[in-house]
Every structure is written in C-alpha cells, then in structure tokens.
Structure 1
Amino acid sequence: MPPSLPRRRNAWDCPPSKRQVVTIGICIGNAVAFVMFLFPLLYEPYRLLFSIIFGFSFVLTAVFGIFTMTVDPMDLNVSRAEEGLQPEHDAMAYCKNCRVNVQLDSKHCWDCNKCVSNYDHHCPWLNTCIGTRNYFYFYVSIWSLLVMLATSSTADVLVIVEHARDSTNALGLGSVLVWLISIILALVDIPLCFLDSTLVAFHTYLCVLDITTYDYLTGKTSQKKARWKEQRECETHEGREVQRSDLAVRNRRMLDAVPHFGGAPAPNRRPDKEEELEDSSVSSSAESSDGSYSEGGGAVFRSFVAQEGDTEVKKEVSNFVFGSSVREVEEPQMSPTPTIPAELSLRANVGRDNAV
C-alpha cells in the first residue's frame, strides 16, 4: 500500500467527518430534547409509553451505531497478508492498491484506502465503510433510529395538539416558547424520519434481492455472485442434458422392444412437442430471473439518485441514502493465472512426450 495514503481503520480515526459529527449531535440532541422538553409536557398515558419506546430505541441506536463505527470492515485477507499468513481459499481477485489477493466481492474504497469485504457503500454520516463485518449492526441501527425519530416526531405533534387545548404546562414555560420549541423539533424530526424510513426501505429491498448498494448503483453484481450464477446455469444446463440423455435411452429401449415387421429399421425418434415447450419454458424462466434492479420497486429508489445539475438538497438526500459516490471505489482485478503444481506439470510433460 502506498505509504503516503493512510488507511482508516474505523470511524474513530481522526479527523472525524462533519457529517459524522452532525449524526452524533442529532442523536444526542434528540435524546436531550425528549427528556428535558417532550417528556414533561406529555400527558398520561402517552408519557410512560413514549418514554419506554424512545429509551429502548435510543439505546439500540447508540449501541449498534457504535458497533458499526468501531468494527473494521476491511477484507481479512489484507490483514492476514500483513501478518505473513496465507490468504483464505476464496481470495481470487488482486487489489493493486493493497497489493494482495482479496475476496471476489471486495472493493477498494478510496475514502478509507482499504479493501472492504462484500462492499456495500461508504457512509459519510458514520465516517466508515459498510461491508460484511458491520452490515448487520448498520441495519439494526437505522431501524432503531427510525423508531426513535418516529416516536419523537409523534411526541412533537402531541405536544402541539395538547398545548392548543390547554396552554398550561408542567415546565411553566410561556405559550409562545412552547409553540416555538415544539415546531422547531417537529421541523427537524419529521424530515429526518422520512429520510431514515427511505434508507430502511431501500436496504430492506436490497436484502430481499441479496445485492448491495454498489450493485444497485452500478447495475452489476460482484464477481463472486456472477460466478455463482454462471455455475448455477451450467448445472441447470448439465441437468437438462442428463435428462435428455436418460429419456433418449429409455425411448430407445422401448423402441427396440417393439417388433419390427419385414426387418424394417426402427424410425429415428423426433422430439415431442411437450419437450420443446418444456425447454422453452425453462430457458424463458432463466432469462426472466435476471431482471434489472431499476424495474419495479427499484425505480422508486432510483429517483433519489442525484444527477449532474441537481440542487444541493437533492445531492445531500442521495448522499444520505446511497452513501459516497461509486467513483470513490475501485474494483480489484482478477488474480493472475495461478501456478501449476509440480505434480500436474510433470504429468503434462510425460503426456506430451508419449504423444511424440
């Protein structure tokens, strides 16, 4: 790895990003606002119920958010190579930046300057990459954050409605001040709740399709998934060929068992119409399974992708949902042709000598 470019291990490496500071500030500020302002102004039975939900969701958000920012999502093959150990068996792509073989689904993130296993995206709001090792923590944290923001947003609206009915309050604040604080909190919490709900829906959509944010934005799957798909198609094709062969053998045996008068040879068998329909249905189902991520529900999320000339607000929304640009990511190249073991090389040489 070039020494001039430091590697970011996790989100706590200096310097922190501005968006990371904003994220932490919003979570802590939201908790302070709920405890100091919303909780005393809520009437029963909402007070106890909202306190339990908000407290539980805040703890989950804090714990899993810290796990997400602390766990290093770097490809383990990079650390194994630095320790002088052999890479794992699935290391089949070469990263020229890390100078080591990495997993097929790894990507090199220039924001962190490291290869991330099963790279999903670089989250500037958490100042770290999201990959296999911390995706679960990330997914739980955005869900718990959604519950926390939805609870505080609902509490904001309830305080406004209750204050409209009764201007007295437990804090002894003036009517104008209660209105002002409640409206400001609602203007902050409701848009954030909408953004986070979009993020949760998007990653739930990705989990259903078993793809990553990078796959969705680039429109292509990782090398590992592409090879798996190719292997599955080959197995399906081989299975169809075996079925055809078995069927041909059975039909040939049946035809041979039928007596042929006059010594006439048995006619060559022609494929049945049912087999032709079966083959066409299998091929069409295989083709239809390879759909585009932009069709169906994916088109809704595609509208959040920022384009050149869009407003800064649209770019920030896109940055919140999809993370940093894919231009900050580099795909490792396929590894060079592996060396042939000596035993196999010796057998090949003996075979060539015998042929001569």
Structure 2
Amino acid sequence: MAPAPRVRLPPATTTSQSTSAGKTYDLAAGNLRQLVLEYLEHNCYGGTLRALQGELDAHGISRVDVKGKGKETVPSPMDVDLVMFDPAASYQLEISSLPPLPDDHDDDMLDMNLPTHANLNDTIMEEDDEDASNSADDDRSRMALRTEIRNAILSGDIAHATSLLETHFPSVIRPSTSTKPRPQSHTPPAWLPSLAPPHISLNLRIQAFIESLRSSSSTSITHSLALGRALNAEIGLLKDAHYTAEWALVGALLAYSDPETEAPVSMRRYMTRERKEAVAAQVDRAVLWSLDLPPASKLECAVRQNMAVWSASHDLKVPLDESAIPPGIDPPIPPVEGGGMDAEMVRAQKLVPLFDFHEWMGRKAVVKSGKDARRSA
C-alpha cells in the first residue's frame, strides 16, 4: 500500500515582500487588514469599520479598503495587475514623449486650465481623490440601506423591507425584462440559497404571512387568509416540490391561535428569530449580487474551504506534519474522546483532525476567558 500523503503547509514565514513604484509592502499584514475590512463592510458593521480605519490612520499604518484602493495599496494575489497599473505613471510616459512647445507659443495659454507636464499628476490625483470620495459615499449609502432592509426583516416589517428593495434594488425581487444577460464578475457559490428574484420575492411574501400570524385580531386573521390564498396559488404555479412541502407546514400554522406556543416543534421553527435571520441574510446576499459584488465574504469562503480540506484530509487518514505549521499558529486539534481505531490513530500518528469552526472558536473563547480570570486574580 502506498504511504498516505502528508499535508504540507506553506513555509513558516510571517511576511512576504513586494516592491511597487519604489515602495515595499508587507503583504501578510496588508492582506490580513484587507480581509478584516472586507468582512466588516460585507456584513454592514459600519461603526466598527470606521473605527478600525480611524485606528489605522491614527497609527500611520497603510490601510486597504475592500476595493483595493487606499493610502498605500497592498496588492492582493487576485488583483495584482489592477493594483500595479499606475494611471499617473502612464500619463507621465505619454506626456514626456511629446515634442516641446515652441518658444513663441501664446503666453495666454498658460492661464488656461489645461493639463501640463507640471500639474498633470496633481490633476489626476485630485480626480482620483474625488472619485474615491464619491465611491466611499456610495458605499456608505448602500451599507445604510442594506442595514435598514435587514433590520426591517428582523423586526417583522416585511412591507418596509420590500418597499426599500423596490425603490433601490428592484432587480433583487423583479426579474429583468432584458433578453441580454447582464455580465457578472461573481458567481454565487453552489452552497448559497437561491438568489433568483422569484425565490427572494416568494420568501419575503412567506415571511410576511408568518409575521401576520403573530397577532390574533380579526383584521390580522383576515389579512393572513388573503396572503395565504395568494401564496397557495403562486406556489401551485411554481411546481417546486421543495416550496410545496414547506408551504404545507407554513400554511398549517393558520390552524393555531398562538402558533409560537401551540404548534408542533417542526412548524414552530418558522416563528423563530433564526428564520428571520436566514431570510435577511438571503436578501442581503441577493442585494450584493445585484450590485455585482461577491455574495459571500472572503473570510466566510476561506473558513468553508479550510473546513472542507481538513475534513477530507481527516477522512483520508492523512498524517499531520506539525513541523510545517508556522510559529504562532494554533492548529485545530480538538481533544480526542472515546476509543476505537480512529482515536488511536489520531493519538499515535496525529492525523489531520476534523476542523469545526464553531467548536474551535468556542475553545478559543474558553481559553481567553481563563487567561482573563487568571490576570484579574
């Protein structure tokens, strides 16, 4: 039998250097900052994002915003060509290759607001700053709208959330009438819930029906019945087995005067906050996709990728070479419980363990709280 392959991690280096336009960048630190900033904006943590950016500025640390523009842009592995292109340098080459102006040119030309070799860089930089400012304003406005839509869904005000979508992001809930497909820079991962406008619209209407059941007034019951009849007809036309089965459970909530306490557990889950959070997350991903932005953050994709790689390596009984782990990195090695051949192999050969992100974060939190308790003692 051939020996099991070994997992080789990257060399134990903490930084890598790259030089661009005479500047040396710390790619490890820059990529880490970019990862955190992108995660904060992706999840609408506007206050934390501004606070972190302010801290970076206050300490004179070059920061990168989520679009690869910043005080000193740190090129990411995916955007090197874009970042390395320097418009100012390009214009300098073009201008310097032009023939000099004749000595008898009209001196009044100097008073005109024309780009010259001396002031072209300043003009370009001012335009770039203005574009960056406008882009930042647009980003903040969209983040505020996304936050308002999410809060409306979580508070049960589906009508307000739908109104905001129709006004600002209509393509999220209404299919495009254009026969020409719109090019997309990002493709939703297969593990994400559907981002198709008919599904988003239908899920919002189902959530509106669920919210209407929280009140026992006669007006609310009449409204719930009207919503239920419309949904029943629409789902029947959809001919989707998944939606048909789900609607059978959701629609049956009408039989209970207080579904949150009287309905069976299998049906009561539709009344929980977790259900609203799932709908809000699906809608937010659809908004991002409509803006041609990735529907999942880079950090989320990285976590899912690592979980898949570690799990597959564990299933294949791949030994873990701990010497390849860089210093300061805490490998996801959970305590082994119970017996069995697999447990013995983990102890003897130190196989690549399963990586459960939530369990790993829970252990980190316990360790941190223990250290804090010892410090305060």
| TM > 0.5 | no
Q: Say which one has the larger Rg.
A: 1
Normalised by the shorter chain, which TM-score bucket?
Answer: under 0.3
